[in-house]
Structure 1
Amino acid sequence: MELGKLALEAALKAISYTQLDVRKTYKLQRKLDRVGQLSLTRLHCRAVDMEIKREDHAIPVRLFFPGGETAPEEAILFFHGGGWVTGDVDTYNRVCAVTARCTGRLVASVDYRLAPEHKFPEGLMDCYEAARYLFWNAPDVLGMGPEQISLMGDSAGGNLAAAVSLMARDRGEFSPRQQILLYPAAYNDHTEQSPYPSVRENGTDYVLTSARIREFMELYQRTPKDLQSPYFAPLLAKDFSRQPRTLVVTAQFDPLRDEGEDYGRKLREAGNEVSIYRMNGALHGFFSLPAGTSLVKKSFVILNAFLRGEAQISGEEEEHEVKEEHTLETAR
């Protein structure tokens, strides 16, 4: 067992140290991300594509239905990860289909435009416009009220979900009731000077490196001034009040761990209902692992408990146990 652990650690270090500069290879990375994706047919999930008009272009949105004879009564508006540079609705087919089936909710996945072709805030504004349209037209488009829609995103998508919630409050155009932020990017400094220890503790040996995060942010930003925007780095917000009921899930061996947890604490201190859960033994991106993986199963225990409205999932981030009475709603 110890030899296996050492071999895994050595492999992770090798992958981390041999990464190519994403600023030069992002187009190749996009192609590689699409390799090996399971088809929707094999996933037994019905999907419907739609478009939302924004100015001079359309925003593709894919709706994933959980199955069963009755229409879903609630929805998740999902923003995918990929450092604002890679990923799309196709590469997240499996993640969104599994999420629909394991939560029993309709999942609407937004295919926002990517950097560096479309720099900040273009991708964010695609997410915001898609959210505004669906919240305003929920009865006609989704067959439910806007209060039945939850925001959700992983990594850069968690950043986008948090930014959409802040912008919705600031503009007063709609009000998400709850949001799920999976290992979100929330701050603007991932150098050795970062105030968050996880950047230094986990920034070199666990696949997602601090250098890779900086490369992504360099591709995402239009100018250095963008780094100071709370819509770019939500932890820079001056006001954390009037935000949705929030679940933050972080990974133990993730450079983004501490900033995600700190964002949850800032929301809680401002009077919002917040649950923070740190997934022990996990790397960044664990939610994209196969559905039968123990970490993914545990994730859906946590997500479903939150979506059912339970007041606390695990209390403070230092408490890393899932309550035994939470049952996993597995895909049929």
Structure 2
Amino acid sequence: MAINKAMRLALKALSYSDIDVRKSRMLAGIKALDPLKIFYHTLDTKVYNRDHEVPLRVYLPETDCEIEDPFPVLLFIHGGGWVTESVETYNKVCADLARHTSHMVISIDYSLAPEYPFPIGLEDCYEAAKAVYGNHLLLKVNPKRITLIGDSAGGNLAAALSLMARDRGEFLPQRQILIYPCTNNDHSETSPYPSVRENGTDYLLTAKKLQQYLALYRSSDEDLSNPYFAPLIAKDLSRQPRTLIITAQYDPLRDEGEAYGEKLRQFGNEVEIRRIRNALHGYFALGIQSRHVRQSYQLINHFLKGV
């Protein structure tokens, strides 16, 4: 169903506040009050990035399964503009992922900006991935059956993590799923991507908010030219994982996500690019009752079974 006139007016009315980190975190925290959380089959563990702890939460697809079962893994990185959200607020998303893909999901609770600006959160994700790929978590994991997955800012971190893994040579992801990822460094009127202007004012996530998120995330203006900050600007995208990119029609990030997929193809990588019609940025958190989420799971499961 297309977005009707009444819905457009409502969305427009909700799309003009600036980013207030404290309030955003308080609102996100409401999602952690999930009455179904007690039914999720989870295990909490951690890794270390130098001097600080990086919590991880493991979700199993069935409540009666054994931890030793050799499940394939989705290594999940949450969204939230690098400044909000957490493992706790993404409990339902990750539990649903485990249930509807029959994968073990490992969710990374990386450090948030602005207290921990780029590249600290990315380095947290790297250390977590290195531990998972190296089988250092006492979990029975086949590195060839691990898929990186992230939404929005988490999609950015997953893409950057794949580049970093290739460059450092300690492990090499085989698959990645990027859900409406942020890949570029410019969401102003000078952006070359029409979706920034077409969808950047009236669909909840605005171009202005994107600029504010990037400003909170970066530690200096030099970060804007770093491919780990904005993977789309990377000069070399060779030796990247088999990739599924899912974008949303009414999302300012739509075109840059799809452009990243096209650029990956230019460097010889295997890529699928799928756009969810009539969807907004952030729709994946709505749960399986959403038609757009069900469509996404069809794409994700087809991709996962294609290996």
Q: TM-score, normalised by structure 2?
A: 0.95
2:132 alignment partner in structure 1 = 134
1:78 alignment partner in structure 2 = 76
Match of 2:201, SS state, is coil
- Aligned partner of 2:65: which letter? E
1:69 alignment partner in structure 2 = 65
1:32 alignment partner in structure 2 = 27
1:40 CA drift (Å)? 6.9
Task: Say if 1:43 and 1:94, in contact at 8 Å, map to a contact too.
Answer: no
1:213 alignment partner in structure 2 = 210
1:120 CA drift (Å)? 0.4
- Aligned partner of 1:198: which letter? S
1:105 alignment partner in structure 2 = 103
2:241 alignment partner in structure 1 = 244
1:41 CA drift (Å)? 4.2
Rounded to whole Å, the distance in 2 between the matches of 1:266 and 1:141 is 37
Match of 2:158, SS state, is helix
Task: Say if 2:70 and 2:142, in contact at 8 Å, map to a contact too.
Answer: no
1:36 CA drift (Å)? 4.2
Q: Note closer, same or farther for the CA distance 1:176–1:158 as it changes in structure 2 (3 Å cut).
A: same
Superposed counterparts of 1:150-165, under 5 Å: 150-165=147-162
- Aligned partner of 1:11: which letter? A
2:228 alignment partner in structure 1 = 231
Superposed counterparts of 1:36-55, under 5 Å: 36-37=31-32, 39=34, 41=36, 44-55=39-50
1:194 to 191, 194, 198: 191
Task: Say if 1:37 and 1:91, in contact at 8 Å, map to a contact too.
Answer: yes
Task: Say if 1:155 and 1:182, in contact at 8 Å, map to a contact too.
Answer: yes
81-90 vs 42-51, which moves further: 42-51
1:57 aligns with 2:52: yes
Show structure 2 runs of 5+ residues with no match.
none
1:143 to 131, 140, 145: 140
Rounded to whole Å, the distance in 2 between the matches of 1:264 and 1:40 is 38
Match of 2:39, SS state, is coil
Q: TM-score, normalised by structure 1?
A: 0.88
Rounded to whole Å, the distance in 1 between the matches of 2:225 and 2:49 is 26
1:116 CA drift (Å)? 0.2
1:82 CA drift (Å)? 0.3
Rounded to whole Å, the distance in 1 between the matches of 2:24 and 2:110 is 17
Superposed structure 1 runs of 4+ greater than 4 Å apart:
40-43
Rounded to whole Å, the distance in 2 between the matches of 1:64 and 1:72 is 13
1:32-66 Cα offsets, whole Å, 9 max, x none, are: 11114453745732011001022111100000110
* Larger RCO: 1 or 2 (CA < 8 Å, sep 6+): 2
1:141 CA drift (Å)? 2.6
1:278 aligns with 2:275: yes
Rounded to whole Å, the distance in 2 between the matches of 1:273 and 1:309 is 12
1:6 alignment partner in structure 2 = 5
Task: Say if 1:113 and 1:123, in contact at 8 Å, map to a contact too.
Answer: yes
Task: Say if 1:176 and 1:244, in contact at 8 Å, map to a contact too.
Answer: yes
1:15 alignment partner in structure 2 = 14
Identity, in percent, stands at 53
1:89 aligns with 2:87: yes
Show structure 1 runs of 5+ residues with no match.
311-332
Rounded to whole Å, the distance in 2 between the matches of 1:133 and 1:105 is 18
Alignment RMSD (CA, Å): 1.6
